[in-house]
Amino acid sequence: MKKQSEMNFMKTRFIRQIIFYGILLAIWEGLALAKVWPEYIFPSPLDVLRSLAEGFKDSTFLVAIVISLRRIAVGYGISVILGGLMGLAISRFSIVKDTVGNLSLGLQTLPSICWLPLALLWFGINEKAIYFVVIMGATFSITMATHAGVRNVQPIFIKAGRNMGARRMTLFREVIIPAAMPSILSGLKQGWSFAWRSLMAGELLFVNLGLGHLLMMGRELNDMSRVIAVMIVIAVISILTDKFIFGAAESHLQRKWGLDCTGICH
């Protein structure tokens, strides 16, 4: 019964999405046919599809995707380690909270573009500069999310852990961090989006291969079909990452905590 309910729910979601994107494509095609803007500024869906096919056929898109994913994997991986450690330290030690905590709170509000001048001056136009922008764009949001997750752990969990004999680091490791994982995962998801935007900002300005560089080349060549095609590729990568990585992790945590309500609370 539950399996049938889940299947019906997934089918309903799929139909809604098909209808929604079908309407968007129809509106897009209608505007293109109406010639509201010149064709070189506002291409039709068919022109964009053609650019997508050409980009994958000549491996331009594949090479750019591999390069961008490599950069985001390295930069985001470092951000997760740094942000997670700083967030836990802020939650554990008051002196770190009063110093690094306040600094992280201020720095997380800076747009990624603010780090580009420093990256250029410190590292020049190379891979290190891009990694720096990605790391700085994501680390502090992960730090604050980790701190917030630990801080908002329900007191009853801590009391239960203490009653069962957990003390200090054991309590922190076995009770507080697992209880804070849903919030920490949300912070990691937010950090991913910041890292992805930071990467695109860096690749837009640095003359180097990558999806951001393809966007810039399309703009310089007045090839709006190529620009929109690359934007679609970027959006699809983001959707797939959210669904198959963060979505899977969230589903696992929901099942673990008994919060899975698919088909009931949607």
Inter-helix orientation angle 177-205/211-220, to 10°: 30
Over range 50-79, report the average pLDDT. Answer: 93
Do 31 and 52 share a domain, yes or no?
Answer: no
In this predicted structure, what is the pLDDT of residue 116? Answer: 86
Do 115 and 168 share a domain, yes or no?
Answer: yes
Do 88 and 11 share a domain, yes or no?
Answer: no
Is position 262 within any domain? no
Inter-helix orientation angle 45-57/60-92, to 10°: 90
Is position 263 within any domain? no
Q: Please tell me the number of Cα atoms within 13 Å of 264 on its side-chain side.
A: 7
Do 93 and 11 share a domain, yes or no?
Answer: no
Do 89 and 206 share a domain, yes or no?
Answer: yes
Closest to 182 in 3D by CA, of 90, 248, 250? 250
Over range 184-202, report the average pLDDT. Answer: 89
Do 59 and 32 share a domain, yes or no?
Answer: no
In this predicted structure, what is the pLDDT of residue 32? Answer: 86
Do 230 and 118 share a domain, yes or no?
Answer: yes
Do 197 and 126 share a domain, yes or no?
Answer: yes
In this predicted structure, what is the pLDDT of residue 259? Answer: 57
Compute the C-alpha angle 169/170/174, nearest 5°: 120
Identify the CATH number of the domain in which residue 129 sits: 1.10.3720.10
Do 22 and 94 share a domain, yes or no?
Answer: no
Do 19 and 115 share a domain, yes or no?
Answer: no
Closest to 60 in 3D by CA, of 206, 207, 229, 193? 229
Separation of alpha carbons 91 and 158, rounded Å: 14
Separation of alpha carbons 146 and 180, rounded Å: 8
Q: Which domain holds residue 85?
A: 45-256
77: pLDDT strictly greater than 90: yes
How many residues are given for the chain? 266
Closest to 130 in 3D by CA, of 193, 196, 65, 191? 196
Closest to 68 in 3D by CA, of 259, 232, 200? 200
Do 2 and 60 share a domain, yes or no?
Answer: no
Q: Tell me: the pLDDT tens digits for 6-43? A: 677 778 888 988 999 899 989 988 888 888 788 778 89
261: pLDDT strictly greater than 60: no
Is position 184 within any domain? yes
162: pLDDT strictly greater than 70: yes
Helix intervals (H) in the chain: 2-33, 45-57, 60-92, 94-96, 102-107, 116-123, 127-151, 155-163, 168-171, 177-205, 211-220, 224-241, 247-256
Over range 184-201, report the average pLDDT. Answer: 90
Do 213 and 115 share a domain, yes or no?
Answer: yes
DSSP string for 98-144: IIIIHHHHHHTTS-GGGGHHHHHHHH-SSHHHHHHHHHHHHHHHHHH
| Domains of the chain: total | 2
